Structure 1
Amino acid sequence: MKYIINTTLLGLFFLLISSSCGIKNKTFTPTPSKTNDIISSNEAIIDPIKTGADNFETYLHLLKDKKVGIITNQSGIVNYQVPEIIYVQDPSQKPIAQIKNKSISIVDYLIGREVNLQKIFAPEHGFRGTADAGEHVVDGKDTKTDLPIISLYGNNKKPKPEQLVGIDIMVFDLQDVGARFYTYISSLHYIMEACAENNIDLIVLDRPNPNGNIVDGPILEKEFTSFVGMHPIPLLHGMTIGEYAKMINGEKWLKNGIQCNLTVIPCLNYKREMTYSLPVKPSPNLPNDQSINLYASLCLFEGTNVSVGRGTEMQFQIYGSPFLPKNDFSFTPIPNFGAKEPVYKNQLCFGENLTSIPKVNQLELKWLIKAYNSTSDKSSFFNDFFTKLAGTKKLQQQITDGVSETEIRKSWEKGLLNFKETRKKYLIYN
């Protein structure tokens, strides 16, 4: 028979565990700043990575007696340890102490800690992460918590003042993947802007970037600004979402150069070069580490007549179309979770299977160039969306002109060098 020990026993339990393992208690204190308040920690001793959401000691007290709004989805989970005492049947034996790990939604966790949550704001794909890319997500109510859900996609990308009435502080907890056109950082921009305009503090719970050591691709040009590219950064920016929030604030990218009162809760025991495997899908069509690693390279195909595997179980790990040469690899997209109407539904596509290739450490152009060179009709290969994804007209022009990948990369060098210098000012995990 199992019993969960009470709060007093919990403290004693962890004290005993810490003493026996040589683990020292650490004190976390905020570093004051008007516009970029980063809560830092002493040198971490425990090895496992803890996300900002798991870094409870640094932010729960900031929410006390506040009316809280939160922007999150299925990727906003917390992991915590529950000590248990197992009472054995033999009275001659001592009870056994053990640690049980639990993972739950940050919304459920905060409610369990009596945080006064008022509203959930949901980005693209919705609060539960079930909507297709680009699908309209309506407002509603979370059936589990009865909290109202405000959709931040479609025509309401930025919270309206009336939607923020009564909120003292906002919490942002979304898992980014490090690509400019992954729209969670666009939602971050609008949340920061709304908070600044309505004098609401913002806490960003940081999470590791699974592509955090890659900075590559063309810099977005201002005239091609859109929801899939809002800032002058490369396709792969190599920053965590907390670092990126600092950059938005520091570079005054919000409307009229305003800045929000920002606090970033950092990850613990994390270094940028570490491999980080996401515990849940960040969105419906990124099912595993391979798809997340290849996402930035293959997403450029969304601006062409080539499928990236939506409507299969290998999304962003394969590519193909009916217009590419027949070969040994083919697939037929059908409606599934995250792709109700996939490109080339029920049509045979030929292309390439990348599910088993080694991890890439740059923005790969070779598949895009190969597909363009081998398509049956080059005039119909690119569509208008490609320029928005690339953030420049130059890349399409370079490919159609037959410029080599090496020469294309050279054209990015100056922009990347300048970006990296700017980026240094905002890095937390050096």
Structure 2
Amino acid sequence: MVKTGLIKFLKNPPKVLTGKNIGLLCHQASILPDLTPAWVALKALFPQGLKILFSPQHGLLGEKQANMIESADTIEPETELPVISLYGPRFAPEPEHLAEIDILLVDLQDVGTRVYTYIWTLLLTMEACAKAGVKVIVLDRPNPIAGNIEGPLLEEGLFSFVGLAPLPMRHGLTIGELAFYFKQKFSLDLELEVVPMEGWTRDMFFPETGLPWVSPSPNMPRFETALVYPGQVLLEGTNLSEGRGTTLPFEIFGAPWLKVLALKKFFSKISEIKVQAINFVPWFDKWAGRICQGIKLWVKRPQTYQPVKTTLLMLKEVLAQNPEFSFRRPPYEYTWSKCPFDIIVGKEKMREALNNQNEEQILALLEEGVKEFQEEIEALKLYA
């Protein structure tokens, strides 16, 4: 079984923490293999030292839905520690919060996709800690979809809370490696330490880790969800249901008007995936209460599956066959004027390429800048 940074930290806590005041940025997936929450284990280890918890989007226990549904500050009942929300009234710790601590621990389960907001909470928190002189220790966790990288690379004009640095959609890094990347990219004057995992390699998918999958957010219930998410999250920028309001978000998609048989022919050409035509009724979100004609995705070969490329080429087919299709209008993740699809996909020209049925341009935009990104991060990798 892979040993996470949390496991290693608890076994050999750094002596530098003795007598220090500690904060913890965490959520419901911050657990030990026996499902003990990180804050409970750390409170037992540092009964006087652990002072405050910070939670990202969705709240400490993952109770909030996505996209501008904010969490309030609260009290964690078992430890009676204050929980400061970093999604809502603020997006980074405030000076008065950091004044209470000397060291901030970070234990977050990312899903390997640029638009998953926990990594941007990490960045904003690192910036706040740099200003406050608070040391950051990241307890590393697996990238559940391995170390594969897939574009598009986010362009600066489309920065938002689903992308504040030029990462590709599937970034291929662990959250500890991302912390090193952010420190280097933004020249942060920050004391940063990463507690690396033991036993994780870049070709490893989450089931191979031996760790329990705890949903890191309400619409990421399974590892299989994470596999398709880098592509299917693009549907949030359209009037297609990405499966929110069902038990299989992102693994299914559709709309009342979707021509499913034509899409089945498209997917039949992709050897890494198989599909099933289905009907579904979302309980909430897009097309709530309406019967949607849809597709269920089954990834057969995750090692070679390219989720972003697959979804983009699928959208090209949808545009060609369904006049009812449209791109979503703002707002989206606190961005009030830019097209949601653009800030999700990361390339302004991608929507134009889809509208023009220009597959050559779609594929070129997917690769633009990715090689340079791979060269940039090579020295930051902690794992083979």
Q: TM-score, normalised by structure 1?
A: 0.78
SS at match of 1:148: strand
1:301 aligns to 2:255 (yes or no): no
1:106 aligns to 2:38 (yes or no): yes
1:193 matched residue in structure 2? 127
Q: 1:174 aligns with which of 102, 105, 108?
A: 108
Alignment of 1:292-331 (within 5 A): 292-325=226-259, 328-331=277-280
1:281 matched residue in structure 2? 215
1:304-354 deviations in Å (ceiling 9; x for gaps):
0011111111111011012312665211001xxxxxx42211111112111
Shift of 1:411: 3.3
2:58 matched residue in structure 1? 125
Matched length: 349
2:335 matched residue in structure 1? none
SS at match of 2:5: coil
Is there any run of 5+ residues in structure 1 with no aligned partner, and where? 1-47, 80-101, 335-340
The 1-side partners of 2:65 and 2:35 are apart by: 25
Q: 1:224 aligns with which of 134, 138, 158?
A: 158
Shift of 1:371: 2.4
CA contact (8 A) 2:213 2:222 kept: no
Q: Which amino acid aligns with 2:341?
A: F
2:381 matched residue in structure 1? 427
Q: Which amino acid aligns with 2:305?
A: N
Shift of 1:217: 1.3
SS at match of 1:119: strand
1:361 aligns to 2:361 (yes or no): no
1:374 matched residue in structure 2? 321
1:74 matched residue in structure 2? 28
Shift of 1:392: 1.8
The 2-side partners of 1:356 and 1:130 are apart by: 28
The 2-side partners of 1:381 and 1:73 are apart by: 32
1:272 aligns to 2:272 (yes or no): no
Shift of 1:382: 4.5
The 1-side partners of 2:193 and 2:138 are apart by: 6
1:245 aligns to 2:199 (yes or no): no
CA contact (8 A) 1:307 1:343 kept: yes
SS at match of 1:412: helix
Shift of 1:372: 2.3
CA contact (8 A) 2:145 2:204 kept: no
1:55 matched residue in structure 2? 8
1:202 matched residue in structure 2? 136
1:344 matched residue in structure 2? 287
CA contact (8 A) 1:331 1:350 kept: yes
SS at match of 1:235: strand
Shift of 1:210: 1.1
Q: 1:64 aligns with which of 1, 9, 18?
A: 18
1:154-178 deviations in Å (ceiling 9; x for gaps):
2300111012222010000000011
Alignment of 1:247-262 (within 5 A): 247-252=181-186, 257-262=187-192
SS at match of 2:344: helix
CA contact (8 A) 1:172 1:205 kept: yes
The 2-side partners of 1:261 and 1:104 are apart by: 28
2:367 matched residue in structure 1? 413
Q: State percent identity of aligned pairs.
A: 35
Shift of 1:407: 4.3
Change (3 A) 1:325 1:412: closer
The 1-side partners of 2:58 and 2:184 are apart by: 29
1:22-73 deviations in Å (ceiling 9; x for gaps):
xxxxxxxxxxxxxxxxxxxxxxxxxx21111111344453422111110001
CA contact (8 A) 1:214 1:361 kept: no
Cα RMSD over matched residues? 1.7
User: Higher helix fraction: Structure 1 or Structure 2?
Assistant: 2
The 2-side partners of 1:221 and 1:326 are apart by: 33
Q: TM-score, normalised by structure 2?
A: 0.87
1:143-162 deviations in Å (ceiling 9; x for gaps):
12111110000230011101
Q: Which amino acid aligns with 2:5?
A: G
Deviates more, 1:299-308 or 1:136-145: 136-145
1:220-263 deviations in Å (ceiling 9; x for gaps):
111110000110111011000000000000122xxxx4331100
Q: Which amino acid aligns with 2:323?
A: S
Shift of 1:282: 1.1
The 2-side partners of 1:240 and 1:356 are apart by: 22
Larger Rg: 1
The 1-side partners of 2:72 and 2:365 are apart by: 42
